[in-house]
Structure 1
Amino acid sequence: MTTPAGSAPAGKAVVVGGGIAGLACAALLAREGYEVDLFEQHDRVGGRAGSWERDGFRFDTGPSWYLMPEVFDHFFRLLGTTAEDELDLEVLEPGYRVFFEGIREPADVHADQAANEATFEAIEPGAGARLGRYLASARDAYDIATRRFLYSSFQSLVPLARPDVLRRARRLSTLLTTPLEAFVARSFTDRRLRQILGYPAVFLGSSPDRAPSLYHLMSHLDLADGVRYPHGGFARLIDAIALRAEKEGARLHTGATVTAIATEATRRGRARATGVRVLQDGEERDVPADVVVGAADLHHVETRLLPPRLQTYPERWWDRRESGPGAVLVQLGVRGELPELAHHSLFFTRDWTRNFDDIFDGRRVPDPASCYVCRPSATDPTVAPPGAENLFVLVPVPPDPGIGRGGLDGAGDPVVERIADAAIDQVAAWSGVAGLRERIVLRRTVGPGDFLADLHAWSGGALGPAHTLRQSAFLRGRNASRKVAGLYYAGSSTIPGIGLPMCLISAEILVKRLRGDRSTGPLPEPA
């Protein structure tokens, strides 16, 4: 990657937050010629994509689905390497298994579209052919989103008036204003199929009745493109990006908390970022910079690191926004094998409309609750000791820090531990795992209160602002302050949104903005 002629000269850049977005920003900015310092408050980088180890078990503490592989490939190629060189990736088969309340037989989703069409056909006659058409639509939506929306800073909407967008204007309008749930229901009757196709909304911090049906594009990723896993876990991905950032010259500082963004007044009555104040080893110091990138939670960056008069997104802005769900995480070391569970398993309640209404409207913990279980030891023997399994259970709950914090061996807050107990029993009963509770040799829980305390997560949410119509594309938080020149944002709180691939793209959009590049597609890759 080379800085194009006429772009702003490189200078000093500070990145706040060492999650995947911050690390990606540090790597790309250093590649651009900036002198980069990244500050992460914890003792290791990773943010939500962290790692925790004990007694021979190693858990990813956040993201666990490797989707959109071309985004990772493109990012690494921008840095002169490839995902293949950096990671040991395996395509999962099955991609995931789905258990349904009240139905004995689970359904496997495969890495092959033809196999998935056969699965749909076996459940509902005629659904196989309809799935083929559905996935063709999903692929088209994904392609146009990648070319025109995902990599755009939306500084100007003129580049979006391209023939390929205009030809789809009526269809895009329908997809944006029709809920995903209603869109799926037009083609499929069986609730199992509707749930498989509706659940990707949860990856976006939303629900099938709230997410626009444009996001049916997500089904292309798992039902046609397959699900991958990086051996060593997602901490390996974080390590790879951190290493690339350091090789480009970025300095990564851990145990360093940014307490304020420094600014100075400009002639036009606005302000300019001049650096940050950092607390490290009990001492505060000022770090000057020409560019400051807030890659931590946007709510925290805006409302805690800036004075009210300089906040583009003050508290009243957040009061009108909708958070994605909170989560109770349960990390389990289990004695013996668990062949009943795939690498990824989903557990769907019969009345999941009530399940989502409880989370987003009633602010109640669903009972029973749909949940997700990751068994990485099915693929990766390094994440658990011999003769044992590694389980990661995620229960979506309201984004409410009052639910509490987790702990070791049942020592978390009572509500969190009750949610964990119910999830363990539910997984055992629905999947047919005998004696699961008695076989647990290690247990750790995490609650919404931990997301707030440890990650400054707005409202204790696990993901970020939900992808509703009002919080997608150019209606989402932008990636630059309107009141402080030189202050930019990256990560799941801003464009393009939630998920590891989106966070990598947010770093690339930052570079495009600094270059004055208003194009809508990815940056050209070096030869």
Structure 2
Amino acid sequence: MKAIVIGAGLGGLLSAARLSKAGYQVDVFERLPITGGRFTNLSYKGFQLSSGAFHILPHGPSGPLAQFLKEVGADVKIVRSDLTTVRVPLKKGSLDYAKGFKDISFSDFSTLLSHKDRLKIALLIVSTRKNHPTGSSLQAWIKTQFKDEWLVKFADSFCGWALSMRSDEVPVEEIFEIIENMYRFGGPGIPIGGCKGVIDALESVITANGGEIHTKTEVSKILLENGKAAGVLIGEEAYKADLVISNLGHVATACLCREALAVEKDSEYLKKLETLKPSAGIKICLSADEPLVGHSGVLLTPYARRVNGIDEVTHVDPKLAPPGKHLTMSHQYVAPENVKNLEAEIELGLQDLKEIFPDKKYEVLLIQSYHDNWPVNRAASGTDPGNETPIPGLYVVGDGAKGRGGIEVEGLTLGVASTMKKVLG
């Protein structure tokens, strides 16, 4: 059996590794000169910056990605982060970091609420473990259940960090699926070698099983025979296959076979694709001689103007920075109405960092933005169309086709695992 994978991002390489291990003859075609897409390393001034995703796995060594890597035989060491914290002002209700702040454990965030609301949260979590609320956004649900604005800020910070969305954009049922996965898999962890450590390990599995990865090679069309995916066209040359996996997202994949989809029975699928909204974000990379965050977990910042969360991975893997340096990275969600004004959004993020780390010395290494055709996610969490397409033998994987309740690369992996179950049984 032959399989073709379009795109050598994380979703494509996970799929290729699993198929090659199952005995498929696999070819991966990538238009860029590098592999990994938004999940690899960029060498800059001696630092290993990430091309997109942070050097962190939301569920660490026990999550879906770690389990999948183990299943395919990819040799990656993942170290559990020691702590995740929330930075809040010393004076409850104050929006001014300059008046002082403190870090509290992520698990203790409810201590900022009244005793009544803390009890209500505990009861709601227990009562909704099996019957999740539906039909509203997370923010609307919070405002219905509670009167504390702190919870909205906390939800915005968490959703901005984990999903590049505001809490009023996230379906409440998706958040409860995420909470379930947090209970099931635990907190974040860092892969040694960063994102590229994962990519290199997957490439080794693919090539060891006889697969080939072709860079600087762009697919121009998906070929069909008798209504089924049968290969791809590259230039004037046709490459035949029994199975085609696309890591390009649903919209770009549909463009490669639009004529085949432009029939009445597929009109609903195409209408669904027109509603998809990619999520945008900004990452600011900092260099410092002394730790800024002070631990290897995530620092959530609910009272900042724009920054949602920050991590400092060099506590686990010092080789991601030059000797004696720390690599600190912040992430901020960019609302659709602000994408055209990224310079202003970046300036607000830089102001946040000055207030979050007062009297700290650091250098801004690089500022990266992710939007339009190079977004954080090609489809917002909880809204993607799944992995199947109307064309038999053609599947979509990646950040636009995640599994329910999966944060970033964990959700991407859940989508790949679901696809592989359909293909391999």
Within the candidate set 218, 223, 234, 2:178 is matched to: 218
Deviation at 1:342, TM superposition (A): 4.6
Structure 1 unaligned blocks of 5 or more: 1-10, 111-115, 142-170, 351-367, 404-414, 518-527
Distance 1:36 1:400 in 2: 41
Question: Which residue does the alignment assign to 1:421?
Answer: 347
The aligned runs of 1:307-318 (5 Å cut-off) are 307-310=258-261, 312=266, 317=271
Change (3 A) 1:99 1:61: farther
Structure 2: gaps (5+ residues): 90-94
* Residue 137 (structure 2) pairs with residue 179 (structure 1): yes
Q: How does 1:143-292 map to 2 (within 5 A)?
A: 171-172=131-132, 175-185=133-143, 189-197=147-155, 199-202=157-160, 203-214=162-173, 215-219=175-179, 225-264=186-225, 266=226, 271-278=227-234, 285-292=237-244
> Among 401, 408, 414, which residue is 1:494 paired with?
401
3-state SS of 1:181 partner: helix
Cα deviation for residue 337 of structure 1 reads: 1.4
Q: 2:423 aligns with which of 485, 498, 514?
A: 514
Cα distance in 1, alignment partners of residues 393 and 112 from structure 2: 56
Indicate yes or no: 2:104 matched with 1:108: yes
Structure 2 residue 347 is matched with structure 1 residue 443: no
Q: Give 1:96's aligned amino acid.
A: T
Q: 1:94 to 1:186 in 2, by over 3 A?
A: farther
CA–CA distance in 2 between the matches of 1:313 and 1:24? 30
TM-score norm. by structure 1 comes to 0.68
Whether 2:332 is the aligned partner of 1:391: answer no
Shift of 1:129: 4.8
**Residue 309 of structure 2 corresponds to residue 345 of structure 1:** no
> Cα RMSD (Å) of the superposition?
3.2
**Measured at CA, do residues 324 and 223 of structure 1 come closer, stay the same or move farther in structure 2, by a change above 3 Å?**
farther
1:481 is the counterpart of 2:395: no
For 1:350-383, what per-residue CA distance to the aligned partner results, in whole angstroms no more than 9, with x for missing partners? Answer: 7xxxxxxxxxxxxxxxxx4243323222432111
Shift of 1:16: 0.3
| Counterpart position of 2:313 | 376
Q: Deviations over 1:24-83 (max 9, x none)?
A: 11111122221110111222221221211112111123223422333234323432x48x
**SS in structure 2 at match of 1:235:** helix
CA change 1:490–1:339 in 2 (3 A) is closer
- What secondary structure sits across from 1:348 in the alignment? coil
What is the rounded CA distance, in whole Å, between the counterparts of 1:15 and 1:400 in structure 2?
34
Distance 2:31 2:284 in 1: 24
TM-fit CA distance, 1:398: 3.4
Cα pair 2:403 2:413 within 8 Å, conserved:
no
Give the secondary-structure state (helix, strand or coil) at the position aligned to 2:220: strand
1:336, CA displacement in angstroms? 2.3
Contact kept in structure 2, 1:197 and 1:216, CA below 8 Å: no
Contact 1:19-1:45 at 8 Å conserved across structures: yes
Aligned to 1:358: none
| Superposed CA offset, 1:207-226 (max 9, x none) | 32232222234245558922
> Hey, what does 1:160 align to over in structure 2?
none
Distance in structure 2 (CA, Å) of the matches to 1:99 and 1:57: 30
**Aligned letter for 1:74?**
Q
What's 1:306 paired with? 257
Contact 2:288 2:327 in 1 (8 A): no
Contact 2:87-2:101 at 8 Å conserved across structures: no
Q: Deviations over 1:259-310 (max 9, x none)?
A: 221223x2xxxx232211235xxxx53221121111222211112x123443
Instruction: Give the aligned residue type for 1:336.
Output: D
Residues 179 and 418 of structure 1, relative CA distance in 2, 3 Å threshold: closer
- Which residue identity is paired with 1:338? P
What are the Cα deviations for residues 314-370 of structure 1, in whole angstroms up to 9, with x where unaligned?
9962675141431223233x24213356542233347xxxxxxxxxxxxxxxxx424
Structure-2 residue corresponding to 1:408? none
Say if 2:16 and 2:28, in contact at 8 Å, map to a contact too: yes
> 1:423, 1:59 → 2: CA distance?
18
The answer on whether the counterparts of 2:380 and 2:400 sit within 8 Å (CA) in structure 1 is no
Cα distance, 1:213–1:398 mapped onto 2, change above 3 Å: closer
Give the structure 1 partner of residue 86 of structure 2.
Answer: 97
Q: Per-residue deviation at 1:12?
A: 1.0
Deviations 1:465-523 (A, max 9, x none): 2235xx2xxxx4242331x33222212222526621222222222222224x5xxxxxx
CA gap of 1:177–1:416, structure 2 versus 1, over 3 A, is closer
Query: What does 1:130-141 align with in structure 2 at a 5 Å threshold?
Result: 130-136=120-126, 140=129
2 CA distance for matches of 1:485 and 1:322?
Answer: 22
Question: 1:302 touches 1:314 (CA, 8 Å); kept in 2?
Answer: no
1:464 aligned partner = 378
The 1:243/1:273 distance shift into structure 2, 3 A limit, reads same
Bigger drift between 248-257 and 23-32 goes to 248-257
Return closer, same or farther for 1:183/1:134 CA change in 2, 3 Å cut-off: same
| Per-residue Cα deviation, 1:79-117 (whole angstroms, up to 9, x for no partner) | 2x48xxx3332222322333464253233335xxxxx24
Q: What's the TM-score once normalised by structure 2's chain length?
A: 0.83
What CA distance in whole angstroms lies between the structure 2 residues aligned with 1:398 and 1:189? Answer: 25
**Amino acid in the other structure paired with 2:411:** M
Q: Which moved more, 1:19-28 or 1:382-391?
A: 382-391
1:400, 1:18 → 2: CA distance?
31
Rate the CA distance shift 1:425–1:125 in 2: closer, same or farther, 3 A.
same
Q: Distance in 1 between matches of 2:241 and 2:314?
A: 44
Amino acid at match of 1:443: L
